[in-house]
Amino acid sequence: MKPNSEKPDILPKKKYLISKGVDAFFLEINDVFKFIGLFFKEAFSAPFEWREIINQCYNVGYRSLSLISLTGFIIGIVFTKQSRPSLSTFGASSWLPSLVSIAIIRALAPLVTALIAAGKVGSNIGAELGSMKVTEQIDAMEVSATNPFKFLVVSRVIATTFMLPVLTLYSGLVGMLGSYINVHQNEQTSFAAFVKSAFSTISFLDINSSIFKAICYGFTIGVAGCYQGYFAQNGTQGVGRAANAAVVVSMFLIFVEEMIIVQFVNAIR
């Protein structure tokens, strides 16, 4: 029988491919941390691009209000409708406002707002910076003595970090409004009684944890979108990949951060 001399060559090749993939992964992680470090360095050094920061806050916040309003309102109504049969089975329909407020304030408002922002804002940032990169507009800014990182990246990350908590609070209020309309329609509960029952179980820890979540989510969305767009390559295909990667990466990191923060808050609680 002729010995098989190919197997010894295949195994080293597979090991090489695995090793190359692992090296590329850790090099990517290193680049991300360098990118974040450069952000903090530029964010706290003059000059500050206040006009561009305000413009990006307008793009992130005001232009997302309609979508956030509709989504938050629907979440409040749907979650109330879904919870009523279960509570009615145990004769605990009066607990419905408290249950809805806990679910919306603690989890749904920051998480849903972040996911919507990741899809709308994150993809927009990735595509915008990606198109500027592949058309060499960023290189032109460097030639014209303008700091493109401070103007493009720092302003967008600051805008997403500061505006997402505002959108989260707004989404929570709209969601509670949708829940009140459904509760009032079925149980004829007054607005004062609904508010008293809803916020009787909400503490400052719940509100502060939601705001902290929103800050982390906003920073993640801004960094992911800017990083993918700022280093986009290969023309229009690279712009599409940058926008897609910005959404996928930010959503994945949002869920990871949600799991970590919930464990931390529960330990404090």
189: domain range? 17-268
Is residue 11 over pLDDT 70? no
Is 152 within 8 Å of 129 (Cβ atoms)?
A: yes
- Is 53 within a domain? yes
Number of domains in the chain: 1
- Is 236 within a domain? yes
* pLDDT at res. 1: 44
Residue matched to tokens 């290189």: 139
* pLDDT at res. 169: 93
- Is 10 within a domain? no
- Is 59 within a domain? yes
- Is 57 within a domain? yes
- Is 12 within a domain? no
- Is 189 within a domain? yes
- For the segment 195-245, what is each residue's pLDDT rounded down to a tens digit? 888 888 888 888 999 999 999 999 999 999 999 988 888 777 888 888 899
- For the segment 83-100, what is each residue's pLDDT rounded down to a tens digit? 888 878 777 777 888 888
- For the segment 143-161, what is each residue's pLDDT rounded down to a tens digit? 777 788 888 999 999 999 9
- For the segment 158-206, what is each residue's pLDDT rounded down to a tens digit? 999 999 999 999 999 999 999 999 888 888 888 888 888 888 888 888 8
Is residue 3 over pLDDT 60? no
pTM: 0.87
